[in-house]
Structure 1
Amino acid sequence: MDKIFEQFVQNLSMHDNACEIERLLRRTLDQYGFPCFAYLSFAPRGDDDDTLAMTTYPSSWVEQYCAKRYDRIDPVISRSIATTLPFAWSADRSDPRLTNKQKRLFEEASEFGIQHGFTIPIHDRQGKVATLTLADCDSRSAFDARAERYRHQLHLIAIYLHAQLRNVTPAAVSPTRPCLTQRERSCLQWAARGKSALDTAKIISVSRRTVVFHTENAKRKLGVATVQQAVAKGLMYDIISM
């Protein structure tokens, strides 16, 4: 298991407030080479009081972004609402799909050193959307290569982060959670710890095929398409733990 990710998970469970969690996130992402990031949790059709943000973006840019209510037109946020899959983006103002206001947003962001990024969306059972965005202004090829190298760890970090923040902040009453068997929960639990199907098979003394079978059943019951999404829902429903 990746030592940085392992340390993050161990330390995360010991923190019970957002400030401590933010400091841990800063240290962890800095170790991966991503000192510039923004985490945002919000209800797409909710109000401003439902928003939680953590960021190392320049404070002057954050103030400008909020003052102009760029969250209403930000294409990164719009895409995060529409998908559960991580995606890369660039402040390419020549993109014909962007409106003039969106081009201006990216132009201003570039002035503060935010030119390209990698965003991980999370959708939870409370109807909230969260995004963990890593950004940079240096070589995009080097940034993309680093993001791809740590893609799996970063996705799991975003999932664990959002789950812990949900645990330490007031939450709405949750709907009935899906019923998973003990074996399905076990396979999902080991996946949440970064283990592959083969690793899990060795740990619980079954075949890899058996692990895949139970994992697929868990995905079907949770109504998701990927293992990462199953882990996310498992954490949100308290079916598995960190």
Structure 2
Amino acid sequence: MVAMVEEFIESTQDVASDTKLKQLFLTAIEEEGYENVVFARVRNRRLSSIPWSEFPAGYLDAYQTGQWDKIDPVVQRIQSARRPFVWSDTGGEAGFSQQQKAFFEQCRELGVHSGITIPIHGIGSEVDLISLSLREKCAAPTPRMTHVYMLTVQYWLKYCELTDGRRSQSAPLTCQELECLRWCKEGKTNWEIGEILSISEKTVEFHLANAMRKLGANNRITAVIVGIKEGLIPL
């Protein structure tokens, strides 16, 4: 899994256009089994823009004409979400309303099934999302969620760099912060990293929190990707 993510990161490092970047991302996502992809921006629980999408013919028109973002539980959840989530988990304790159930049924009829969404928080209340879904009714391949998450974060970071010049300007990391990040890249838990480095789990949490802050990342996956992009963590 790590090798495939590293391959994608390496293939996108020197990409000069967002079109080529999108093609590489779609190829990587298709290999994960997903056929539909949308990159959208949410402000105040409404879609503010859709930079691009790959859906069956007619789906996006139906979504926008019907203003489905007003009832779409994915859009309603995105502001508070910090990690990828499966669409079927967005109903909360009360479950889905009748209107939301009807919405999902219309999506299925138009070839949009079994999705997952990756939230990416920007400055202030800005939230971008990338949703992946299938065209046939079946369960999303969630065991590889972390893999898909890393691919998506790399795509988004490179997209921002190409389209609006955003680049990370991080403060220097300490040796232990780097070591903790390197073991995160290998999929180790905080407890496992502590055992490897002979430090407590709380100390690992402290170093990772500092690393995330310095790299401008709101979670460890993003911190690892940024670390790789900046040459702090070797491919």
Map of 1:12 onto structure 2: 12
Q: Choose 30-39 or 160-169, whichever is displaced more.
A: 30-39
Cα drift, residue 39 of structure 1:
2.6
Counterpart of 2:142, as a letter, is: A
Partner of residue 55 from structure 1, selected from 53, 56, 63: 53
1:157 aligns with 2:146: no
Counterpart of 1:40, as a letter, is: A
Q: How many angstroms apart in 2 are the aligned matches of 1:210 and 1:121?
A: 32
Map of 2:75 onto structure 1: 77
TM-score by length of 2: 0.73
Partner of residue 186 from structure 2, selected from 176, 195, 200: 195
Asked if 2 retains the 8 angstrom alpha-carbon contact of 1:91 and 1:106, the reply is: no
Q: How many angstroms apart in 2 are the aligned matches of 1:91 and 1:47?
A: 20
Partner of residue 106 from structure 2, selected from 90, 97, 108: 108
Q: Secondary structure at the match of 2:164?
A: coil
Measured on the aligned residues, the alpha-carbon RMSD in Å equals 4.0
Structure 1 stretches lacking a partner, 5+ long: none
Q: How many angstroms apart in 2 are the aligned matches of 1:115 and 1:56?
A: 13
Q: Secondary structure at the match of 2:132?
A: strand
Map of 1:230 onto structure 2: 220
TM-score by length of 1: 0.72
Distance verdict in 2 for CA 1:185–1:168, change over 3 Å? farther
Q: How many angstroms apart in 1 are the aligned matches of 2:46 and 2:102?
A: 26
Cα drift, residue 172 of structure 1:
7.8
Alignment of 1:86-125 (within 5 A): 86-90=84-88, 97-125=95-123
Cα drift, residue 235 of structure 1:
5.8
Map of 2:208 onto structure 1: 219
Q: Secondary structure at the match of 2:39?
A: strand
Distance verdict in 2 for CA 1:91–1:83, change over 3 Å? closer
Identity of aligned residues (%): 16
Q: Residues 139-172 of structure 1, C-alpha deviation per residue, up to 9 Å, x if partnerless?
A: 53xx34x321x12211111211111111112268
Structure 2 stretches lacking a partner, 5+ long: none
Distance verdict in 2 for CA 1:130–1:153, change over 3 Å? same
